Each structure stands twice: as C-alpha cells, then as structure tokens.
Amino acid sequence: MKKKLVVLTLLASMSMTSYADIQTVQNALEQDDLLLAQQVFNTLTTEEKNAIPGQVLKGRLLLENDETEDAFDHFEALQKQHASNVDINYYLGVSAVIMAQKASIFSKLSYAKDFIKAMERTVELKPDHQDALNTLIGFHLNAPSIAGGDKDKALVYAKQLQSYDAELGYSQIATVYWQTEQSELADKTMSEAFDRYPQSSTLYFSRAQQSIKNEAWDKARADLALAAKFAQDDEKKGEALYQQGKVSVESGVETELGIDALTQALPLAAKEYQPWVNYRLAQLYLQKKEQVKAHETIAKIDISENEDLEDKVKKLKKKLKKLTG
C-alpha cells in the first residue's frame, strides 16, 4: 500500500511539473518573453513535446521566430490529425493570414482561403473565441471580396462577439458601420453602448480611433483622456496615452499634452512597444525645436528588430541634423 502511494505521489508530482512547465511557456509567450519561452520549452521531455499542447507550443514558437512557413506547415499537418482541436485550428489560421501578407499575388488567395476555413472552424468549435472572432471581423472588413472579404460576415461576427463581450461587441459593430459608411447606425450603436457602459475604456478608445480617421483631433483627445482614465489595466491605459501622444504629432498642436501622455505611457508599454513611444516623443521634441531632448530620445530607440521603425528613425535623424545645422 505504501509503495502504491509513493508511486501515485511521484506520478502526480511529475504531472504537475509538466503542466507547470507548459504553463510557463504559455505565459512567457503571452508576455512576449520569447527567450524564456524557448528556454523552458527546451527543458520539456520528448513525450511532452510530442503531446498536443507541446506541439501547439512548438508551432507558436515558430511563429514568434518569424518562421511562418514552417509554422503553417506544422499546424496544417497537425490539423489533419486533430481537426477538432481549437488551438490547432486557430494558430493554423494565424499562420495562414501572415503567409497571405507575405506571399505573391498568386499564393495570397490560397492562404486567405486556408485562413477563413481555419478561423471559421475555430469559432464553430468555440463560439466565444474572442481572438478568432476579432481576427475574422478585421479580415472581412479589410480584405477584398476576391480574397474572401465580406463586410456582411464582419457584422455577423461582431454581433456574435457581442454575445460574449458586450463592450467589445458594440465597438466592433460600430466599426463595421463606420467602415461601410453607415455613420448613423454607428452613432446609434455607440449611443446605446454608452448608455449601458458609461465608463467603458474600450468604447471611448474605439470612438477616438474613428475621430482620428476623420482628423477630429479635439474629439479624439477628449475620448482618449477618458479611455486612459477608465482603463482597467496598464496595457489599455498605456495604449490610450500613446495614442494621445500620436494625435499631438499628427495634429501638430497640444505638443506638451502629447509629451506628458507619452512620458506616462513609457513605463506602461511592453518592451517591444517602448521604441515606438520614444519615437513619438522624439517627434514632439523636434516639433518644439528641443533638439537636445530629441537627440537624447532618439538614442534610446532600439531599431534592431523593426525595419519599418528603422526607416522612420533615419528620417527623423535627418530632420534633426537639418535643424542643428
């Protein structure tokens, strides 16, 4: 009896350790700590790596390392064996849409079809999968009809999302109406939403984005201030503050307000977004003709893993050089 208890205790301990390691990898990926995720994944046993959760993590690590084609092939093979696994279908869809963005015009349509099929299967298996629903909404709103984009489907998925997250659902429904030039319906939707959720950071942020598109800067600033005020976590607050700074850059006014917002956003931003916060700060310092502060801020920008930002920083340095003579 005692031996049996010892064996059961050891098995339970091993199982808990395995779960803890897998959970650590998942948490590290969620926090964008790729190094930790890879290190812990490497410590998993062969058996753990070959199990479905381990295989999903392997594919996610491939995605994070920009090995998108390998990730797509990996999840495609897994999906053939495990067609009813939610995570496998979801990440197959994620890898497919990234491949569609990178592929030649002839391959884009094929990957777009793979994306739609995988994401639709995901929400069929798990109707409240918010990431899949949001991704489908974005795709159908922005993709051309030849690639499968369908604005009517975007509205269907937005209403489905509303059943599980009312605030975000209202926001997405209004976005669909705005992008399909049905502004009266969008405004009606937002009015109803604010009646129910008067302190919703999500709703204020969403309305601000539309004001930014319309270059209604004062309205955008007012809504972003409320989005930051009512934010439930640092990530949302930091995002609202960053957008406040970006509005000051794009509008060319309220520079001090923008600098203050970005200064508050910097410690709240995830590591990979901090270079963008500093980039916007440098723009505002140049706007104020504070060349020293602009130079110091530019020096803090890490452009090692962002080609788009690298080009922008180069242009900013040239602008600074002209000002300093």
pLDDT band at 166 (very low <50, low <70, confident <90, very high): very high
Quote the pLDDT of residue 306: 80
Asked whether residue 7 carries a pLDDT value surpassing 60, the answer given is no
* Same domain as 158, residue 98: no
Q: Give the chain's mean pLDDT.
A: 91
Quote the pLDDT of residue 2: 46
Tokens of 139: 């795709």
Among 125, 146, 166, give the residue marking a domain's end.
125
- Segment 102-131, tens digit of pLDDT: 887 778 999 999 999 999 999 999 999 999
Q: From CA 261, how far away is CA 274, in angstroms rounded?
A: 13
Render the burial of 106-119: b for 16+ CB within 10 Å, e for the rest: eebeebbebbbbbb
Instruction: Please check whether residue 7 lies inside any domain of the structure.
Output: no
Give the angle subtended at the CA of 293 by the CAs of 287 and 296, to the nearest 5°. 125
Q: From CA 18, how far away is CA 4, in angstroms rounded?
A: 21
Enter the pTM of the model.
0.85
Quote the pLDDT of residue 268: 94
* Same domain as 153, residue 112: no
Alpha helices in the chain (DSSP H): 2-30, 34-43, 46-50, 52-64, 68-81, 86-102, 105-125, 130-142, 151-162, 166-179, 183-196, 201-213, 217-230, 234-251, 255-265, 274-287, 291-299, 307-324
Asked whether residue 10 carries a pLDDT value surpassing 50, the answer given is no
Beta carbons of 59 and 49 less than 8 angstroms apart: no
Instruction: Please check whether residue 284 lies inside any domain of the structure.
Output: yes
- Segment 226-269, tens digit of pLDDT: 999 999 999 999 999 999 999 999 999 999 999 999 999 999 99
Instruction: Please check whether residue 148 lies inside any domain of the structure.
Output: yes
Q: For residues 87-109, give the mean pLDDT.
A: 92
Which one has a higher pLDDT value, 107 or 10? 107
Q: From CA 129, how far away is CA 89, in angstroms rounded?
A: 12
Among 125, 159, 181, give the residue marking a domain's end.
125
Q: For residues 76-99, give the mean pLDDT.
A: 97
